[in-house]
Amino acid sequence: MSSPTPIELEALYLSLKVACWSLFATLPLGLFTAWILARKKFYGHTLLNSIVYLPLVLPPVVISFVLLAMLGRQGPIGELLYNLFGITVIFTWQGAAIASAIMSFPLMVRAIRLSIENVGTDLEDTARTLGASPIKVFYSITLPLIA
């Protein structure tokens, strides 16, 4: 078996970099969104649920076009980034990480949401009655149970 060529190693490194940045960018928002959708009922719950799962329903070409239109130099976000910071996102590894994050976000939220829904609220309620803050309850009870 031959060893990988430098080009293959570069492609592997780029893939890992995009995947890691995508994961770390979406994990906090994904945890929060999944918790909100699993534990809270509010006006607009169905709308938020629909927006979260929209990338799964729309064809990838539509999502790609919207990203190009928004993040390109003439797009609202891309123009702002270029004028303020001199950053161009389109056709860079950062753009690939953003696209990967947007496409994987619904899958992450769904998996975390199902895990949260399968955790009973008995332990969380008990911790709240003993004086634990909602953040402490999440980090000390909910998060370990869904892991």
Going by C-beta distance under 8 Å and a sequence separation of 6 or more, which residues neighbour residue 31? Answer: 112, 143
DSSP 142: I
Which residue in the block uniquely carries the two structure tokens 């938020």? 48
pLDDT tens across 13-72, in order? 999 999 999 999 999 999 999 999 999 899 999 999 999 999 999 998 999 999 999 998
Measured in degrees and rounded to the nearest 5, phi and psi for residue 75 equal -80, 160
pLDDT tens across 105-145, in order? 999 999 999 999 998 888 888 988 999 898 898 899 889 98
The whole-number pLDDT of residue 147 equals: 85
Distances (CA, A) of 124 to 35, 42, 83, 133: 13, 20, 47, 10
pTM score of the predicted model: 0.85
What gap in Å lies between CA 88 and CA 71, rounded to an integer?
8
Nearest to 61 by CA among 69, 72, 53, 52: 69
